[in-house]
Amino acid sequence: MLTDRELFYKEYIRREHNTFRASYPAELAFYTAIKTGDIRKTREFMSPSIIEKEGLGTLSENPLQNIKYHLVITIAMSARYCIEGGMDLAEAYGLSDIYIQKTDRCKTPAEIETLHRTACLDYASRMRLLRKRKIHTGHIAKCVDYIYDHLHTRITVSRLADHTGLDSSYLSRLFRKETGITITEYIRTQKIDTAKNMLAYSDYGAAQIASVLAFPSQSYFSEIFRKHTGMTPLLYRKTHARETGLGRKIP
């Protein structure tokens, strides 16, 4: 049975997923999933498919061309977000050129749907690999994947040790050697990055976010958030809330 926290976390994902075009947060959450290499969430955001998605703007009177234009925008935005996430410029733009050329050659909506899925998962997969580029052992890579998939839970070193089959002390030393930081620091950083997205792209309050991300209390969450960002959650939201990335904010 799912806990309240798990249900809350899934509800956040569902709300982001089901938001129409009139609300930019869902779009930005989708690109954030690609940027962070979250393949599972990227797949979730691609249902319904681009050809079935409600709320798409009309960029061409020709239905096929209209979907093509939207796919080109998706590819360009994916490249931009991946560059922000650390992908090499040449790689990001090279992929973009390839997929845009393939878009131009599509003859049917089905071909566009397939290409949309392929391009988005390609970018997300490359970002996932990039995220683990400096991680050499399978044990640490397994830890990182577990952390990303369980940010809504209280993750402990002992739990990671059980997951990898290693002694806790040895795992801690190995993790720091390969990542440069402790397991606790890594988990906090990933949770704060997720909290930043939730503050910017949703209407969840600090108390709700603290609960969703399994912080022991709102005050502790605010303290850690301030240490990482230099501002309180409220100030961060006022500064970054619902930015479109195009110089506008959601009203």
Which range is most confident: 41-50, 182-191, 235-244?
182-191
Segment 55-75 mean pLDDT: 87
Which pLDDT tens digit goes with each residue over 142-169?
Answer: 898 889 888 889 999 999 999 999 999 9
Q: What is the mean pLDDT of the chain?
A: 83
Poorest-confidence range of 12-21, 74-83, 133-142? 12-21
Query: What pLDDT does 48 receive?
Result: 75
Show the 3-state SS of the chain: CCCHHHHHHHHHHHHHHHCCCCCHHHHHHHHHHHHCCCHHHHHHHCCCCCCCCCCCCCCCCCHHHHHHHHHHHHHHHHHHHHHHCCCCHHHHHHHHHHHHHHHHHCCCHHHHHHHHHHHHHHHHHHHHHHHCCCCCCHHHHHHHHHHHHCCCCCCCHHHHHHHHCCCHHHHHHHHHHHHCCCHHHHHHHHHHHHHHHHHHHCCCCHHHHHHHCCCCCHHHHHHHHHHHHCCCHHHHHHHHCCECCCCCECC
